[in-house]
Amino acid sequence: VDWIESRRWTPRVFLIVHNLDAEMLRCDKTQRVLSRLASLQRVHLVASVDHINCPLLWDQGKLSGYNFMWEDVTTLLSYVEETSYETSLMAQNSGTLALSSLLSVYRSLPHNSRGVFRIILEKHLDANSQKYTGMAFSELYGRCREEMLVTSDLALRTMLTEFLDHQMVKWRRDEHLYIPTDLSVLRQFHSQIQDS
C-alpha cells in the first residue's frame, strides 16, 4: 500500500469484493489493508455485504478509510441456503453478537476499554448462569478504579457507551450490566482473548 501511495502515477484500480463480511475477510488485518487500499485516491472499492450487522466489523478508522456510500440493494430473497450453515449465535438468538463480531469489536478497543469489558465478562462467567442479572455499575466502577482503568464515573460511562452502541453490553434499569450472549460463546470468546 505504501509503495502504491509513493508512486507519482498509478492507474485507476477498481476492486470488486463480493461479500466483504465473508468469514475469510473478517480478520482485523485484512479489513485494515482493504480499508487502507480503499482510502487511496486512485483506488475504488465496490463491495457487497450479506450480514445486517456487518458494520460491527469496522472501527471509526476503517470506516473512514472505506468512505462508503451505502446503497440498499436487498433482493428480498430467502436466505434458506446461506443460513442452513449458520453457526453464529445471531441465527439462534437475535439481538446478540456472533463470536467473530464480538472478537472483532473487542480487538479494535483501546487497552483500558478492553480491561473494562474483561471485568464484565469475567463476572458474567463466574456467575455461570444463563439467567445472570448483571454486574452492578457501582461494583464495576470500583473494580475499574482498583485496576486503574478509569479515573472517574464519567470516563467509565463513556467507555460503556461504545459497548452499548455495538450491543456488546446491555444496561438494565437497575444499573446492572450484562453481556447478551450465550454462555458457551462467552467461554469461547474468553479463551480466545486469553490466548492472544
pLDDT (0 to 100) of residue 92: 45
pLDDT (0 to 100) of residue 16: 94
pTM of the model: 0.54
Burial 163-189 (b: 16+ CB within 10 A, else e): beebbbbbeeeeebbbbebbeebbeeb
**Please, are residues 32 and 62 in contact by the beta-carbon 8 Å criterion?**
yes
Going from N- to C-terminal start, the domains of the chain cover: 2-85, 103-195
Highest-confidence segment of 73-77, 92-96, 154-158, 180-184: 154-158
Range of weakest confidence among 11-15, 53-57, 138-142, 153-157: 53-57
pLDDT (0 to 100) of residue 96: 42
- Rounded mean pLDDT of 30-53? 89
- Rounded mean pLDDT of 110-124? 95
In CATH, the number for domain 103-195 is 1.10.10.10
**Residue bearing the bigger pLDDT, 86 or 78:** 78
Q: Which sign does the torsion angle of CA 49, 52, 56, 59 carry?
A: positive
- Rounded mean pLDDT of 159-173? 89
Which residues fall within 8 angstroms of residue 16, CB to CB, at 6 or more apart?
A: 46, 47
Residue 135 — φ and ψ, nearest 5°?
-100, 130
pLDDT (0 to 100) of residue 103: 86
